[in-house]
Amino acid sequence: MLTASCMNKYNLLLVLVVASIVLNCSGSKKLVTAEKLKKQPTAQSLLTYLSDKEVQSEWFTAKAKLHYEDDVQTLNASLTLRMKTDSVIWMSIKKYGVEAARIKIVPDSILVINRIEKQYAIIPMSYVEKQYNIPASFENLESLVRGGIPFESSTLRTLNIQENSYLLSSEDGQASTSIGVDKEELLLEHLKMRSDDKLLNISLENYAELSDQQIFSYLRRIEILSKTLGQISCYLNFSKVDFSIPKNIKFDIPEKYTPMEF
């Protein structure tokens, strides 16, 4: 059971899971071929290649183990994720086999049920983006699920060819954004967003091939360093992934639950 003093960060965790969960499925469609890209890499051709690798699937379902740490607490839980394209993203977080939280994301808002404290929240997507300075639009979250870049990628105009990777980056005053792509496999390795008071770093590891030549990253690491929030780490280790089976999306707020504070 979490103490009251931990609840603000626990509630933040529910929102952070929304923004950082599920990165990078890649499909077989390639308008820019790997061979051509490796011979003459440019920022634009690399972005086009990554965009072409996004999975176009009506449904996405997955299970994962979740590990969360901050300056106060450690949480281990299991996660079930379901998504219907252009419609809804649904998540259930369980602790010791009992549901601790349920999240439903629709194009304009995020709905959260916190069963530990018998609370709920209906959060406008615009609030999450402004409050936590993360690209939290529904389209960006869907792009994360499909394997795209969860922000406006046209700003990534600087290409640095390193020994083992391509680094695409952009800078705007005190803020910077970058992505790293494995040079040999052309797989997304990390995304980084930095401002004067916070750092968000997402890495993708343990790629494996699924059906239809799709490639999936089974291990995700999310790290946040902030002057106000301290240091936060979140690890996701996926075990089951499917792109074809429709699932039930159920989300009912109990009548006696009270509004959640952020």
CA distance 126 to 188: 27
Tens digit of each residue's pLDDT (9 = 90 or more) over 185-196: 898 999 998 887
Residue 243 lies in a domain: yes
CB of 167 closer than 8 Å to CB of 160: yes
Position 25 confidence tier, pLDDT thresholds 50, 70, 90 = very low
Strands (E), the chain: 25-26, 59-69, 74-84, 88-95, 98-106, 109-114, 119-124, 158-161, 165-172, 175-182, 188-194, 198-209, 215-226, 230-242, 258-259
Q: What is the pLDDT of residue 139?
A: 83
Least confident of 10-19, 87-96, 156-165: 10-19
Query: What's the N-to-C CA distance of the chain in angstroms?
Result: 19
54-58, 146-150, 173-177, 232-236: lowest mean pLDDT where? 146-150
Average pLDDT over residues 14-43: 59
Residue 7 in domain: no
Note whether residue 6 is domain-resident.
Answer: no
Residue 10 covered by a domain: no
Above 70 in pLDDT, residue 145?
Answer: no
Q: Would you say residue 11 lies in a domain?
A: no
* Band of residue 22 on the pLDDT scale cut at 50, 70, 90: very low
- Strand 119-124 with 258-259, pairing: parallel
216 near 31, Cβ under 8 Å? Answer: no
The answer to whether the beta carbons of residues 144 and 22 sit under 8 Å apart is yes
In this structure, is residue 5 part of a structural domain? no
Round to whole Å and give the CA distance between 12 and 39: 44
Task: Give the model's pLDDT for residue 33.
Answer: 75
C-alpha to C-alpha distance for 52 and 204, rounded to whole angstroms = 18
What is the CB-side half-sphere exposure of residue 199 using CA atoms within 13 A?
Answer: 7
Provide the residue range defining the domain that includes 189.
Answer: 26-259
Query: Over 107-161, what HEC string results?
Result: CCEEEEEECCCCEEEEEEHHHHHHHHCCCCCHHHHHHHHHCCCCCCHHHCCEEEE
Tokens of 147: 């394997």
> Residue 73: which CATH number?
2.50.20.10
Give the tens place of pLDDT for each residue, 246-262: 778 899 999 999 998 76
Q: Is residue 212 part of a domain?
A: yes
What SS3 class is residue 46? helix
Confirm whether 14 is domain-assigned.
no
Q: What is the pTM of this model?
A: 0.78
Domain count, the chain: 1
